[in-house]
C-alpha cells in the first residue's frame, strides 16, 4: 500500500525515466531488506518507503528519493558504497554513504557531548543538503514508530537525541513543520 502511495505521489511530478530510476532503487531495496523486520514486526522495507514518501511529499528529486529508499542498505544489509555507485551512480552512493556516516556518528555520541557540537559535526560532514533531508525524514519515521521499541531507556535516548539534535537542525533548515512534529 505504501509502495503504491509512493509511486502515485511520484507520478504527479516526476518524468518517466526518473520514476523508473526510483523504481529500480525500490526493487533493489526490497531485495536487500527481504526477510528483515522492524521491532514492531512490520517488514523493514516499510521504513525506507515511508522515508521516501515524506520526501516525495516535498517533491524531492529522483536522486534523493532513491537515496531514501537505499539509506539503510550499507548499514543493515552489507551492501557497499561501490555497489550503490555501480547500480545507481555516484550521487546516490554519496547520499546513502552520508546518511550512513551520520548514523554511525549517532552511535559514537558520548552522553555528555554538547548537542550544539554534535549538530555542527553533522552539518560539517554533510556535503550535500539532501543527506540531511534524508536523515530528517528517516528520523521522523523512526519517531512516529518509537512506541514499537520496548526498551524504555533506548526510547528516551532517541527522544532526547531528537529534541537536542534533529528538531533544532530542522529548525535551522527552515523546516518548522518537521521540527514541530519531531518535538
Q: State the Cα angle at 180 between 147 and 44, rounded to 5°.
A: 35
Beta bridge partners of 43: 37
d(CA 83, CA 33): 15
Helix (H, G, I), strand (E, B) or coil at 121: helix
The C-alpha cell at 78 is 552489507
What residue has cell string 533544532? 168
Active site residues: 75-76
The C-alpha cell at 183 is 518535538
Please give the distance of CA 139 from its chain centroid, rounded to a whole number. 7
- Which residue from 61, 67, 69, 70 is spatially nearest to 10, judged by alpha carbons? 61
Write the DSSP symbol of residue 80: -
Amino acid at each position: 500500500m505504501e509502495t503504491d502511495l509512493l509511486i502515485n505521489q511520484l507520478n504527479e511530478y516526476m518524468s518517466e525515466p526518473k520514476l523508473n530510476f526510483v523504481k529500480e532503487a525500490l526493487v533493489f531495496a526490497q531485495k536487500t531488506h527481504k526477510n528483515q523486520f522492524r521491532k514492531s514486526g512490520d517488514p523493514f522495507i516499510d521504513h525506507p518507503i515511508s522515508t521516501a514518501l515524506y520526501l516525495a511529499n516535498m517533491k524531492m528529486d529522483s536522486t534523493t528519493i532513491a537515496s531514501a529508499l537505499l539509506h539503510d542498505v550499507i548499514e543493515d544489509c552489507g551492501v557497499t558504497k561501490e555497489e550503490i555507485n555501480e547500480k545507481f551512480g555516484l550521487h546516490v552512493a554519496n547520499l546513502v554513504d552520508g546518511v550512513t556516516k551520520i548514523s554511525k556518528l549517532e552511535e559514537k555520541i558520548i552522553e555528555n557531548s554538547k548537542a550544539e557540537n554534535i549538530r555542527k559535526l553533522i552539518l560539517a560532514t554533510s556535503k550535500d543538503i539532501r543527506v540531511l533531508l534524508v536523515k530528517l525524514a528517516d528520523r521522523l519515521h523512526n519517531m512516529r514508530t518509537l512506541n514499537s521499541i520496548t526498551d524504555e531507556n533506548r526510547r528516551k535516548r532517541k527522544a532526547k537525541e531528537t529534541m537536542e539534535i534533529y528538531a533544532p537542525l530542522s529548525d535551522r533548515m527552515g523546516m518548522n513543520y518537521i521540527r514541530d512534529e519531531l518535538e
